[in-house]
Homo-oligomer: A and B are copies of this chain.
Amino acid sequence: MAFAFNAGHATIVAMPVPSNTTTITAAFIIIGNEILSGRTEDANLTPVAQGLGRVGVRLAEVRVVADDVTAIAETVNQCRTVHDYVFTSGGIGPTHDDVTATAVARAFGVPVTRHPEAMRQLVLCYGEDQLNEARLSMADMPEGADLIENPVSQAPGFRMDNVFSMAGVPRIMVAMLAGVLPSLIGGAIVLSRSLSAEFPESELAAGLARIQGRYPEIEIGSYPYFRQGCFGTSIVLRGTDVDVLDVAVEKVRAAMTKLGADPMKVAEEE
């Protein structure tokens, strides 16, 4: 499905593209003083990264910013001109420290208005008697925003062009993301393979660099680990062409075996 979004200043109508050739990137902006102070551990980055990956959108950059209108607006503007999509989490609740709508409105140079459909949903959820001004303020959104459905607690998120603002509470964020993902126009899906063996990564480094040089389209990562008293290395290979990927995997497997790694321990995951 196609939709119009505004990348920078020009409005572009994005059309479906062949999914095996194009690179589509996203930035994720995590909004919240509680993350920056170390009080709360972020739990949204991984589901966003994995969810986007499944629809062919590559998470290229993450920012964590404070509950500060200027900081959020600047970060949104930096990211939305560089990436195809921007996602934010946090700051869409009913209290004074929820400033995401104001910040995104400022980024787009539009006023904040009360969204009629969001208000209708809040009335439906809370009933007239429970709907205080704070709750109603969750319908305040940048002018022109579309709603992002919230199947958990009703207060919706919103989309402005290529910027999607979601809740910070992980359970709600994941539910909103699930609703958004089918509407994205993804590019090539990145496939991933992993090989592990119990020896230090430095022993494999030279061979690995040669394989990386030969297959520049494959992203090869080396990750040391220490588990159950053993040092080991996981090699992760990522790429969009399954044939090239499989050839590179076999090269890495051969390099590991040649170094004396127990072939039984050369496990291929996923």
A: residues with CB less than 8 A from B are 30, 33-42, 45-50, 53, 58-67, 71, 93-97, 132-135, 137, 169, 171, 190, 192, 201-206, 208-209, 212, 219-224, 226, 236, 238
Contacting pair A95 B222 (CB below 8 A) = yes
28 contacts between A and B (CB under 8 A): A33-B219, A33-B221, A34-B236, A35-B45, A36-B49, A36-B58, A36-B59, A36-B61, A37-B190, A38-B47, A38-B48, A41-B46, A61-B64, A62-B63, A62-B64, A63-B63, A93-B224, A94-B201, A95-B202, A95-B205, A96-B205, A96-B209, A96-B212, A97-B220, A132-B202, A132-B203, A134-B202, A137-B205
Q: Chain B's nearest CB lies how many Å from the CB of A104?
A: 18
Set of chain B residues within 8 Å of A30, measured between Cβ atoms = 62
Oligomeric state, in number of copies?
2
Query: With A and B bound together, what is the CA distance between A65 and B59 in angstroms?
Result: 10
Chain A binding surface, main DSSP class: mixed
Least Cβ–Cβ distance between A140 and chain B, in angstroms = 13
Of residues A46, A132, A205, which shows the largest number of chain B Cβ atoms within 10 Å of its Cβ? Answer: A205
Beyond A95-B205, A95-B209, A205-B94, whether A169 also contacts B224 by CB under 8 A is yes
- Cβ contact within 8 Å between B220 and A96: yes
